[in-house]
């Protein structure tokens, strides 16, 4: 036990620097893992220099420079601009946003046009269940979005109504084409 206390008292400054440097390395390795190699090198090198220049004026200079670099050279500034663009209409017209919150089918404009087309076809033909071709089923993003957008209309494997891509029509010769749009075709395979 005394040998640990002696080690700590002898190497106290080095241990403090190590404990300051450890979180920076962890953050740097997270950036490296996220494929931001330059950002990793920049963070680690700047904070190594900051640890060795512990005079207050140098330390604040380096911290200020680092914060400016992070703000201007990452996606932080772009994200702040996009938040402003998305949130500004809400703050200017909060009543309209609340009305849209409780309106049926509001928010469908955020879906891709392919999904919007599918939902409009489902509503226009009063279809209660539908199915997707293997092409659309393999695209997990499209499958998830159509299921979310079309609810309460259900995706069922046994449904005769099938959405297929326009390039898949030759594979479904036995099905009657109900309507063909730019991205998608609705067919009835009874």
Chain segment 77-122, per-residue pLDDT in tens: 666 677 777 777 777 777 777 777 777 777 777 788 888 899 999 9
| Cβ atoms of 187 and 180 closer than 8 Å | no
pLDDT at 90: 73
- Report residue 70's pLDDT band, with 50, 70 and 90 as the boundaries: low
pLDDT at 93: 76
Alpha-carbon distance 60 to 73, whole Å? 20
> Domain map of the chain by residue range?
2-77, 108-188
Instruction: Enter the tokens of residue 135.
Output: 């092409």
Smallest CA-to-CA distance from 185 within 126, 129, 121, 128 is with 121
Q: Who has greater pLDDT, 63 or 143?
A: 143
Residue with tokens 């404009």: 109
- For residue 164, the surrounding DSSP H or E stretch is strand 161-165
pLDDT at 76: 63
- Report residue 128's pLDDT band, with 50, 70 and 90 as the boundaries: very high
| Cβ atoms of 28 and 43 closer than 8 Å | yes
| Cβ atoms of 169 and 185 closer than 8 Å | yes
Instruction: Enter the tokens of residue 31.
Output: 């950036």
For the residues of 59-74, what is the DSSP string, one character each?
HHHHHHHHHHHHHHHS
111: left (phi over 0), alpha (psi -120 to 50) or beta: beta
Percent of the chain with pLDDT over 90: 17
Alpha-carbon distance 1 to 122, whole Å? 75
User: Is pLDDT of 161 > 90?
Assistant: yes
| Cβ atoms of 163 and 115 closer than 8 Å | no
**Measured distance between the N- and C-terminal CA atoms of the chain, rounded to whole angstroms:** 82
Average pLDDT over residues 5-19: 73
- Cα–Cα distance list, 169 to 124, 135, 164 (Å): 21, 12, 7
User: Is pLDDT of 132 > 90?
Assistant: yes
- Report residue 31's pLDDT band, with 50, 70 and 90 as the boundaries: low
Average pLDDT over residues 7-11: 71
pLDDT at 56: 59
Q: Who has greater pLDDT, 14 or 129?
A: 129
Instruction: Enter the tokens of residue 170.
Output: 């030759």
pLDDT at 62: 65
pLDDT at 59: 64
pLDDT at 35: 65
User: Is pLDDT of 69 > 70?
Assistant: no
Chain Cα centroid distance, residue 33: 17
């Amino acid at each position: 036990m005394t040998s640990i206390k002696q080690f700590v008292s002898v190497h106290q400054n080095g241990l403090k620097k190590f404990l300051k440097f450890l979180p920076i390395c962890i953050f740097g390795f997270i950036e490296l893992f996220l494929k931001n190699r330059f950002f990793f090198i920049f963070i680690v090198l700047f904070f190594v220099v900051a640890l060795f220049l512990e005079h207050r004026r140098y330390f604040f200079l380096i911290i200020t420079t680092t914060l400016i670099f992070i703000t201007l050279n990452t996606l932080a500034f772009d994200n702040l601009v996009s938040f402003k663009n998305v949130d500004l209409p809400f703050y200017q017209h909060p009543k309209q946003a609340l009305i849209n919150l409780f309106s049926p089918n509001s928010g469908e404009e955020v879906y891709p046009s392919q999904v919007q087309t599918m939902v409009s076809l489902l509503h226009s033909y009063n279809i209660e269940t539908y199915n997707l071709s293997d092409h659309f089923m393999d695209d997990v993003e499209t499958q998830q979005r159509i299921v979310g957008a079309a609810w309460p209309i259900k995706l069922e494997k046994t449904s005769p109504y099938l959405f297929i891509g326009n390039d898949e029509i030759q594979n479904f010769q036995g099905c009657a084409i109900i309507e063909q749009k730019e991205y998608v075709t609705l067919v009835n395979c009874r």
